[in-house]
């Protein structure tokens, strides 16, 4: 397939000529002067850092798409709903976008639980949904209209993190601390355990908590008695910081490591946070210090627009909009079934987070990266290919 590039001027000019010469063969969701695209995101609430970053990346992509002339002769119009990081709000937001606003596709959510809430609605209405970063395998299993542009947790937990613990950390004895109220956390734990044990590792302790817990000293004390080589924390950034602080207070000095749920500036903010997490690691989808032309051009644009470096959520938000635009262009229409088919046929698409191919389960096959926390900053460590 032909690939988009917003990074090389000559290719950009060719792309503009290609898409402006096409006509939309469907009136669905694009009967006016624009193509309406819906987005639901956690712009406020407990995971607002995720939602805000993804939303900014999506906005930047929409700007680039429209600057290139749009798709099928029309500009993209982004309609965004804030689900406030709350259970139940995603369904309301997506129903509104589909029924009232007549969008042709849905972008979102970052969190797996909220994507799972919205997916049946998109499937029922035959509206393609693309999650930027929901990694739980159940998300795309909800139906053939549900896609993601990130890797999923079988790869993240079972390949990337298990391999990293065994080979890079040289950790043979690991403790796990899981948020049992989050589908993301429970899934990562399952896939990590399977492959870590299969690779010769030993899980010496498993402790659990739920979303609103603030005191983790009982779990950490139990873990400390087992003297693990490292502690795996497949959780979101909020509790990760609290746990790191309390672990160090209890004299636990081993490395802590997690998944892409750690990806937020807030992880190392606040008194003692950076020091508690110094030398720790997490897997994610993108590193702003990656030296690829696509990544560096994206970082430059993002910094110019928003005054800060992008994180993985911003990069995935950007890629989700580009993948959708590419699929609509190849479909030659905004009709849901044809856009779905085009999304499913995506192969070797060069995004800012790497080259991706959509597999038969509608997951993105692509690389992951490991970042290390050094001096309060997230530093690129290595890339893990599928």
Domain ranges of the chain: 9-151+288-366, 154-284
Asked whether this chain's domains 9-151+288-366 and 154-284 adopt the same fold, the reply is yes
Ordered DSSP codes for 110-126: SSHHHHHHHHHHHHHHT
Give the integer Cα–Cα distance in Å for 315 and 285: 8
Pick the CATH number of 154-284 from 3.40.50.2300, 3.40.50.970, 3.30.1370.100, 3.40.190.10: 3.40.50.2300
| Residue 372 near residue 279 (C-beta atoms within 8 A) | yes
222 pLDDT band, cuts 50/70/90, is: very high
Output the pLDDT for position 30: 59
Span 301-311, pLDDT tens digits: 999 999 999 99
Mean predicted confidence (pLDDT) in 223-241: 97
In angstroms, the CA 261 to CA 274 distance is 17
Q: What's the mean per-residue pLDDT of the chain? A: 91
Is this structure's pTM higher than 0.85? no
Structure tokens given for 268: 């190392």
Could you report the per-residue pLDDT of 122-172, keeping only the tens digit for each?
A: 999 999 999 999 988 999 999 999 999 999 999 999 999 999 999 999 999
In angstroms, the first-to-last Cα distance of the chain is 21
Give the H or E element holding residue 365: strand 364-365
The CA-based angle 18-68-335, given to 5 degrees, is: 65
CA dist., res. 216 & res. 239, Å (int): 9
- pLDDT tens by residue, 325-361: 999 999 999 999 999 999 999 999 999 999 999 999 9
SS3 (DSSP) at 34: strand
- What would the two tokens of residue 145 be? 């209209």
Number of H helices and number of E strands within the chain? Answer: 13, 15
> Among all chains, which residue has been given the structure tokens 């805000």?
52
What's the pLDDT score for residue 21? Answer: 35
Tell whether the model's pLDDT for residue 286 goes beyond 70: yes
Structurally, what CATH architecture does the domain formed by 9-151+288-366 represent?
A: 3-Layer(aba) Sandwich (3.40)
14, 139, 29, 119: which is closest to 68 by C-alpha? 14
**pLDDT interval class at 211 (50, 70, 90):** confident
pLDDT bin (cut points 50, 70, 90) of residue 386 is confident
Q: What is the pLDDT of residue 292?
A: 85
19 pLDDT exceeds 90?
Answer: no
pLDDT at residue 29 in the model: 54
- Tell me the mean pLDDT in the region 205-223: 96
Q: Quickly state the pLDDT bin for 289 (edges 50, 70, 90).
A: confident
The separation between CA 129 and the C-alpha centre of its own chain, rounded to angstroms, equals 14
State the pLDDT at residue 20: 34
Report yes or no: 258 and 244 within 8 Å, Cβ to Cβ.
no
d(CA 145, CA 341) in angstroms, rounded, equals: 9
Rounded to an integer, what distance in angstroms lies between the CA atom of residue 187 and that of residue 152?
Answer: 10
Mean pLDDT is lowest, of 30-39, 181-190, 192-201, for: 30-39
Cβ 97 vs Cβ 41: under 8 Å: no
The answer to whether the CB of 182 falls within 8 A of the CB of 211 is yes
* Sequence-distant contacts of 327-332: CB under 8 A, at least 24 apart: 327/128, 328/35, 328/71, 328/72, 328/104, 328/105, 329/18, 329/19, 329/22, 329/71, 329/72, 330/1, 332/22, 332/23, 332/24, 332/25, 332/72
- HSE at residue 4, side-chain half, CA atoms within 13 A, is 28
3-state secondary structure of 287: coil
Pair 243, 209: CB distance under 8 Å: no
Q: Structure tokens of 135?
A: 């990694």
The mean pLDDT value for 71-86 works out to 97
Summarised one tens digit per residue, pLDDT across range 44-76 is: 998 999 999 999 999 999 999 999 999 999 999
Separation CA 252–CA 231 (nearest Å): 10
Cross-strand partners of 369: 284, 383
pLDDT of res. 183 = 85
């Amino acid at each position: 397939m032909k690939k988009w590039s917003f990074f090389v001027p000559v290719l950009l000019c060719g792309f503009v000529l290609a898409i402006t010469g096409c006509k939309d063969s469907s009136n669905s969701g694009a009967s006016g002067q624009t193509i309406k695209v819906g987005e639901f995101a956690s712009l406020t609430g407990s995971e607002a850092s995720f939602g805000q970053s993804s939303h900014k990346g999506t906005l930047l992509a929409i700007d680039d798409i429209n600057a290139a002339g749009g798709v099928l002769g029309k500009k993209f119009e982004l309609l965004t709903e804030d689900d406030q990081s709350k259970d139940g709000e995603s369904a309301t937001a997506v129903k509104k976008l589909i029924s009232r606003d007549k969008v042709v596709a849905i972008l979102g959510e970052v969190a797996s639980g909220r994507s799972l809430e919205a997916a049946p609605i998109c499937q029922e209405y035959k509206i393609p949904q693309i999650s930027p970063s929901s990694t739980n395998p159940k998300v795309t299993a909800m139906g053939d209209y549900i896609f993601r542009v990130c890797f999923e947790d079988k790869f993240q937990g079972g390949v990337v993190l298990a391999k990293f613990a065994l080979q890079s950390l040289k950790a043979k004895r690991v403790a796990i601390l899981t948020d049992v109220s989050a589908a993301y956390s429970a899934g990562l734990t399952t896939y990590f355990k399977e492959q870590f044990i299969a690779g010769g590792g030993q899980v010496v302790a498993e402790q659990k908590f739920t979303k609103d817990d603030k005191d983790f000293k009982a779990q950490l004390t139990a873990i400390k008695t087992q003297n693990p080589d490292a502690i795996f924390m497949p959780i979101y950034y909020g509790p990760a910081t609290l746990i790191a602080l309390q672990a160090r207070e209890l004299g636990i000095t081993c490395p802590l490591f997690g998944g892409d749920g750690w990806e937020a500036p807030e992880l190392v903010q606040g008194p003692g946070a950076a020091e508690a997490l110094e030398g720790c690691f997490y897997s994610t989808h993108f590193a702003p210090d990656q030296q690829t032309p696509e990544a560096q051009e994206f970082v430059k644009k993002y910094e110019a627009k928003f005054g800060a470096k992008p994180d993985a959520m911003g990069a995935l938000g950007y890629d989700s909009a580009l993948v959708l635009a590419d699929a609509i262009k190849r479909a030659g229409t905004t009709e849901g079934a044809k856009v779905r088919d085009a999304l499913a046929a995506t192969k070797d698409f060069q995004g800012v987070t790497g080259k991706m191919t959509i597999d038969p389960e509608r997951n993105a096959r692509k690389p992951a990266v490991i970042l290390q926390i050094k001096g309060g900053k997230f530093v690129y460590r290595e890339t893990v290919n599928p």
